[in-house]
Each structure stands twice: as C-alpha cells, then as structure tokens.
Structure 1
C-alpha cells in the first residue's frame, strides 16, 4: 500500500470503528493532509518513516508558523496513525512512540456571570418565530450544557418533558441522559407548539430546532444567533455555544454539584476534562469571604 492508501485506511478506521464525529474527522484529515505533503516532498514511505524524519517534520511545522496547540494536535494524530499501522501489522513498532508534544498551558474556560446569563436568556424577541426559537435554544443550552453539534442534531423524540430529560447522542455515538430544569422545558414547549409549527408549514420533520425553511439549523446559524443576542444583551465579550457549556458546568460546580455528576451530564470520557471547571469563580470567593471572614 502506498502512503495515500495507508492514510485513507486510517481515516476509515476512525470513521467506522472509532465512530468519531464529523468535526473530529475533519481535524484528523487536515493533519493527515499536512503529513502527506511532507512525505511526498521528501519522497518518504510512511512504512520507513524514522524519528529523524519526524523531528524534521516538526521543525518544518514550527518554521511554517503552526501554533503550539495545532502542533500538539498534529503530534497526537501521528501517534494514533502509527499505532494503527502497528495494530494492522504494517509496522513492527511505532517510530514516534514516546515523542512528547509541545507543552501547553491550559487556559481557564470562559463563562458568563449569572447576571449575564439572565440578560442573554431574556434578550430574544418573544413576538417573532425566530426569537421564540432562539429563546428556547438558549434556555436548553444553559440548562443542559450541550455541545453545538448536539444542539443542532436534537430531535423531537430526544425530549422527555414528563421525566425532565434529554436523550443526547454525543461524541463517538455515545448516548447520555441529561436532566433539564422545568423552566427550560416550558420555554421549549412554547417553541414546539408555536414557532416550530410556523417554520414547518405543511412539511414534516423530526428535527427539533428548525430554520425558516423548515430544515434543521446549522452550527453556523447557532453561533450567529448566540452572538446576535449577546450583543443585544450588552455582553461585549465574544461568546460561542461552548461559552454556554462552560457556564453550565462552572455554575453547577460553584453551587456545590458533584464533579462526577457534572462529568456524566457533559459527556466527558475522562474526569480530568471536567476538572478544568473546578476553578473558583469571583462570586464564589466573595460568598466564602462574606460567610467566613469576621468582618465579611
């Protein structure tokens, strides 16, 4: 097999066996294309790739201006690729085993304050179908901590309003159950009974959040609508769907929620990923100071 065939086989493995999401596959694909260019330029067979070749490749990435974070992801991709070749018995050992990626400082997640959340949730115009839909989307996102890809792929059958749960298909095709507060489900119910029917007209769809054309909204639309209402709410910092997810987790933990429970709600495979939300918020610091300092 030539290099392209090996790279294609690895991508197929990621898609069919590991069942990675489309966005994750796209990231892997970008890394593999970059690696393929290096192999072609150097006329190197991936099966004869050496640690020296790898160091030359990293040097080229750095000289080309690739950020430390992107380089770290690239290194991780190549580690996975060569582990795959070893597993498939194409190679006896990985030439990049033990190689360390650039060290990265992990930034604290950006989140909204409680007052900002209140302003954002109240911002959409409740007199238009788009505003009613957006109010429901924002309420559900803050109440559940869903990823953008999970929000835009929600279907009617994923909502169990009586039990107070959403059934979410997350990364890797893993399903999880996420509890949702009654207030958010009430707002969602208002959207389903009114604006959603307006978008549908005489059409039929099981998708939950619809565009004016009656089709599922896109991730880009979701980003744009959040940004629009953030500006309307006077929130100048640039926020995204993930800011809502960060706010959900941060506020739960600041309120005393169990870390394992938050991990399950977010759909994190590794609790270390959830631990980035255990930062102490300024509001929490002030509350602790007031309750415990003699002159608080």
Structure 2
C-alpha cells in the first residue's frame, strides 16, 4: 500500500452500512473524520495507513485540542479512527491500531441543560393558539416532552406508530433500533385533537402517513420541527441559551427527580449504554444541592 487507500475507506463505510447498520448521518460524519485525518497525516509526510504509529495518533489528538475542538467532537473523531483502524487490523491492512491506547483528556462533566417545570408550563401556554397550526404545535410539544424522543425520531413517526388504545409510541431510533415509549393523557388529548381536527385539513391532496405535517401538507422535517420549537421558545420569552434538545433533557431529568429508576429512563431514551443516561444523575444531584442550599435554614 503506497498511499492512503480509498478502497480501505470504502470498505469501512460499507462495513458501517451493512454490518453496523449505522445511519447515513453518522456515516457522513465518519467519512469526514477520516478525510480530515488523512489530510493531517499527509501534511506530516506519511503515505499510508500502515505507516501511522501511536506517536502519530497522539500528535493528531493534540492538534485537535490545539484547534479548540469541543471535547465531544474530539471524542467522536478519536472513536471513529479507533474503529477504523480496528477494522483495518481485522482486514490485515495494518499491523496495529495506533488509536487503541489513545486516552482522551479528562474534563469536568458538562451537565445537560433542561427546562424547569414552570418553564415547561410557559412553553405550553405559548403554543395554546386555537388555530390549526397552533393545535399541531401543541400536539408536537406535548409528544416530545411526554416521550423524550429526539427531533429526528419525531419527524419519522407515522400514524401506524401511534397506539391510542394503550397510549404508546413505536420509535425508530439510532441504528434503526426500535423501542416502545408510553405517553400520558395530555399528549393523548392533544394528539387526538390534532388528528381529528387538523391533520386531514393540512394533508389536502397529499398521500402519505407521516404524523406531523407542515402547512403545505408535506411531512414535517427535523429542521422544520426545530424551527417551530425555536419559535415557541421565543414566544415564551425564556432567556438564556436554549435549544430544542433541552426537551429531551427535561424529560429525563424530571423523571429522575420524581423517583424513576435509571434503567427505565435508559430504555425510554433509547440509550445503548447506561453511562449515557447516568449524566442525568449529576443534574438531579445538583438540583437537590441547590434546593438544599436555598431552603435549609442552616445550609
């Protein structure tokens, strides 16, 4: 192998698609991460994947931090390259995995931001408009908060995925994994009003089964959902740096604050690993600490 092989990259991408069943969104990130790494190694005078050693991997990681990449972005790039070289090692195209022993810098845990219950009430009030789009927006907000699903998952929901008899939702998550998530009476009522009074009107002559529609009757995209949520947040006059994913954080945090167990929340969120869910325990502990410090007479 005289140069960085496009064939090796192509085989890895095919492996991610077929064997790992990764989404196209994730695969696109992996491809870009590998391309960036190749550019860096080429600038260092290396010509092939088999030339990359542990010291080169460490140099690349140092460069990532020097460029002030967010810890999560750097971690994704390192994870991608570790998986890539593990694949090359399996295919006998390299003799070692230079990223196998690379350790990320340890930093303080970045706690996910969430809405307090009072703030959620302000959001619901902001989309209580009795118009057709107002009823759609309320159903959208109620379902997102009731289930904790991702915006991308919400965009893919079809009518057949909603079981109104048992108030459960079939969610197709990352890696095409499916899970059932229950929802409560507020979301149930809002959904029924939306479907019975609004959806057919918005659908018009369109023919599809997607649950949430835009004003032209087409499926509401993830980008469209984020736009709607940002408008609701703005209308609620909430301050600070706020983003729609905070609804998912709020779902998990409020469940744990009210006594839900970690494994249940993990399953509801669709997390593959419990460690992804455990970050919310830090949020709830911090919430308890602040409450104690504010209200205990001898804190």
Q: Same fold (TM over 0.5)?
A: yes
Match of 1:13 in 2: 15
Q: For 1:177, what is the secondary structure of its paired residue?
A: strand
- Alignment of 1:210 with 2:192, yes or no, is no
CA-CA distance at 1:281 after TM superposition:
6.5
Q: Deviations over 1:178-235 (max 9, x none)?
A: 0100220110111112221122102221111111222211222211211111111121
Distance (Å, rounded) in 2 between the aligned partners of 1:115 and 1:281 = 19
Match of 1:71 in 2: 74
Q: Deviations over 1:6-42 (max 9, x none)?
A: 1222122112221122332232222112012124433
State whether residues 57 and 102 of structure 2, in contact with CA within 8 Å, keep that contact through their aligned partners in structure 1.
Answer: no
- Alignment of 1:98 with 2:101, yes or no, is yes
| Matched length | 295
User: Structure 1 residues 252 and 67, CA, compared in 2 at 3 Å: closer, same or farther?
Assistant: closer
Distance (Å, rounded) in 1 between the aligned partners of 2:290 and 2:49 = 56
- Alignment of 1:80 with 2:96, yes or no, is no
Distance (Å, rounded) in 2 between the aligned partners of 1:196 and 1:110 = 32
User: Structure 1 residues 289 and 96, CA, compared in 2 at 3 Å: closer, same or farther?
Assistant: closer
Q: For 2:76, what is the secondary structure of its paired residue?
A: helix
CA-CA distance at 1:286 after TM superposition:
7.7
1:179 aligned to 177, 182, 187, which one?
182
- TM (norm. structure 1) is 0.90
- TM (norm. structure 2) is 0.90
Q: Deviations over 1:97-145 (max 9, x none)?
A: 1111222322111000101101102211533222211111100000000
Q: Deviations over 1:133-188 (max 9, x none)?
A: 11111000000000111011111111001011001011111110101002201101
Match of 1:4 in 2: 6
Bigger mean CA deviation after superposition, 18-27 or 177-186: 18-27
RMSD: 2.5
User: Structure 1 residues 294 and 160, CA, compared in 2 at 3 Å: closer, same or farther?
Assistant: same
Structure 1, unaligned runs of 5 or more: none
Q: For 1:178, what is the secondary structure of its paired residue?
A: strand
CA-CA distance at 1:57 after TM superposition:
2.6
- Alignment of 1:280 with 2:294, yes or no, is no
- Alignment of 1:263 with 2:266, yes or no, is yes
Q: How does 1:167-246 map onto structure 2 within 5 Å?
A: 167-246=170-249
Match of 2:145 in 1: 142
Structure 2, unaligned runs of 5 or more: none
